[in-house]
Structure 1
Amino acid sequence: MTATESQTAAPPEAPQPSPAPPPLPDALPLLPEDPPKVGEFWLRGRLGANAAGYLYAAADESGRGAVLAMMTEGSADDASARDRFVRAVDELPEESVLAHNDADDDDLALWVALGPLREDDGSSSAADERLIAERRGEDVLSAVLMDRVPQIGRVRGPDFRHYWENRRRPGLFRIWPLPWPAVLRPASRLALMLALLAMALLMALAVLIAWLLFRNAPEVDPGPVIPNPSGTATVTVTPTTPPPGSTGPGTPTSTTPGSPNTTGPGPGTPGTPESPGTPVDPADRF
């Protein structure tokens, strides 16, 4: 090889690194109508939605990621739609179904957790697992919606539409135990504790003010008249008893038949019967 050939020879090319996989779009934030937890999976965000249901990014208590497909309230109330959901889940590979609820729960929306998903470390395998799980969830919801059924014959007349497509809120769900306070962040836990403490202090202050205002209030006198079971009220009257051996005007006295001055006025006060030495019986006044 001559010097000219050695100068013109190109150096060997360095191996080019493989292009990085495109980043997956982040999930949309949850809305107030979305459940915070379905089964044993905490929801992190929305991945997609149609009239048949929603796709959520989820993770269980151990941090295992999953894609969760859940029916809407409209599709969950249709028995045929529920059957299509169950058949679509049964057709999936067994290792891809992490969990699902019972098809006999008529009052709850059906859901299925798909995976397994590894932690997103930027590798192409992690991205592929998530894309596959999302595609399987879309297939399940499309089976419920029947939007991928091939058209037979020519298109004529109005388009087909389910009667429940306008009811697109997430279906009914059950959470037990309650999601809080496990789902709260440390800052949220502190705010909750301070709010409860403030409520307790306000209640204690209200009770103290009420006690200070009414502690010297006079008692109600006379007391209320409480009727007995017969419907009449009992009133106690204390009679005034004159001293023995004395009679007053208008006070009847007991007399012995046959004794003098049993009728008519005596020598004393006119019109007043007298019986000297006879005690007065208070019971004769009534």
Structure 2
Amino acid sequence: MASPLQYGDPPRLGPFVIQARLHSMPAGFVYLGQADDGRAVSIALLTRGAALDGAARDRFVTAVRESSPRRGTVLTGPAVLESDLGEAPWAATPYLPGRPGAERYLEPVMVGGILLGEVHGPDYVPYWLTDRAPALPGAGRAPRPATETRRRVLLALGVLLALLLMGVVIAILLFRGLDETEPLRRPLPPTVFEPTPPPTPESQQPQPEPSPSPSQSTPGGTSPGLPPGEESDPGDEI
């Protein structure tokens, strides 16, 4: 079912005027166009993401070339009326309501999952799938910016050197100002260490030995001063 054109759709592709959208597929769009003689055509155009991918673009080009009429071959689909297989490839076929048209060229662009026995592997999702804008001819690459002239380059270099020199001068002035404002510090007098004399040992004087005290006489004992074995005379005690 045809739908109105949207922002970004091309108004014209080759000799065909784009009138409406017929299909919106992951790899591209199918438009309803009109030739100069009034014939209705179905035009397949890749998305910008698919057109920038070399492998996806090659699959689209291969599908278009295989549908081209060759000697000794039988066409299984509609014939290609006009095509552009450059950076933004597209192909146009006659439009027949209710029959497949140019969308058959977009189907091989997508790659499905891998079949491993009875279990399917993870589905392959192309990195360009999010770029859904139509690939417009001549708008694939952005124009290169104009190069600066030699005069402008030299002027910019001179300004840069002047700024660097100014920064160096400001840094020198700041360091000199800090040195001048800092007060001068007087050096401290040197510390003189005087050694302490060692202590002299005190002389010890010999102490006299204590004399033995006279022992008192005991009854029935000997008198002091007499040799043992001699008894004192009782008359001597008086």
If the length of structure 1 is used for normalisation, what is the TM-score?
A: 0.42
Report matched runs for 1:245-260 at 5 Å.
none
Gaps of 5+ in 2: 70-77, 140-238
Contact 1:51 1:166 in 2 (8 A): no
**CA distance in 2 between partners of 1:60 and 1:43 (Å):** 9
CA deviations over 1:2-39 (Å, ceiling 9, x no partner): xxxxxxxxxxxxxxxxxxxxxxx4x1000121010011
**CA distance in 2 between partners of 1:36 and 1:173 (Å):** 12
Report matched runs for 1:1-286 at 5 Å.
25=1, 27-92=2-67, 94=69, 96-101=79-84, 103=85, 105-106=86-87, 109-115=88-94, 117=95, 129-132=96-99, 135-147=100-112, 151=115, 153-174=117-138
Contact 1:59 1:65 in 2 (8 A): yes
Percent identity over the alignment is: 36
Contact 1:35 1:173 in 2 (8 A): no
Q: Give the number of aligned pairs.
A: 131
CA deviations over 1:70-125 (Å, ceiling 9, x no partner): 00000000111111001111222537100001x3x33xx1100011x4xxxxxxxx
Task: Name the Cα RMSD after superposition.
Answer: 2.3
The one-letter amino acid of 1:51's match is P
If the length of structure 2 is used for normalisation, what is the TM-score?
A: 0.50
Between Structure 1 and Structure 2, whose CA radius of gyration is higher? 2
Gaps of 5+ in 1: 1-24, 118-128, 176-286
CA deviations over 1:111-153 (Å, ceiling 9, x no partner): 00011x4xxxxxxxxxxx3333xx2422211101134x88453
Contact 2:27 2:47 in 1 (8 A): yes
SS at 1:173 equivalent: coil
The runs of at least 4 consecutive aligned structure 1 residues that moved more than 6 Å come to none
CA deviations over 1:159-216 (Å, ceiling 9, x no partner): 21111101111012259xxxxxxxxxxxxxxxxxxxxxxxxxxxxxxxxxxxxxxxxx
Contact 1:100 1:112 in 2 (8 A): yes
SS at 1:165 equivalent: helix
SS at 2:26 equivalent: coil
The one-letter amino acid of 2:137's match is F
